[in-house]
Amino acid sequence: MSFYFHEISATEFRFRELRGDSWEDVQRDYQQPGWCEYPGALDGMMGCWSLVGLKVTGEDYCKSCECYRP
């Protein structure tokens, strides 16, 4: 299992969905990227839509975000 949520595979994410994991489970098992200062980025619908939507693949994706901190 990866440590940072942006490293999770789509298959692993789907498995967690099918298993019935909540966003609290995700927050327990993963961290948001170190460069991300979005408060509660892994809060599901209230979090970062790019991160929880599996669009973030690395730091370069986030460099134009106002919550990005190098």
CA distance 47 to 24: 12
Instruction: Report yes or no on 51 lying in a domain.
Output: yes
> Rounded to the nearest 5 degrees, what angle is found at the Cα of 22, between the Cα atoms of 20 and 24?
150
- Domain enclosing residue 14, as ranges: 5-62
Question: Residue 48: pLDDT above 80?
Answer: yes
Confidence of residue 37 (pLDDT cuts 50, 70, 90): very high
Report the domain count for the chain.
1
Q: What mean pLDDT do residues 60-67 have?
A: 97
Q: What is the pLDDT of residue 2?
A: 60
User: What's the average model confidence in pLDDT over 2-15?
Assistant: 91
Tokens of 39: 């408060």
pLDDT, mean of residues 23-40: 95
Q: How confident is the model at residue 47 (pLDDT cuts 50, 70, 90)?
A: very high
- CA dist 43 and 24 (Å) reads 8
Residue 28, in any domain of the structure:
yes
User: What distance in Å separates the CA atoms of residue 48 and residue 36, rounded to the nearest whole number?
Assistant: 10
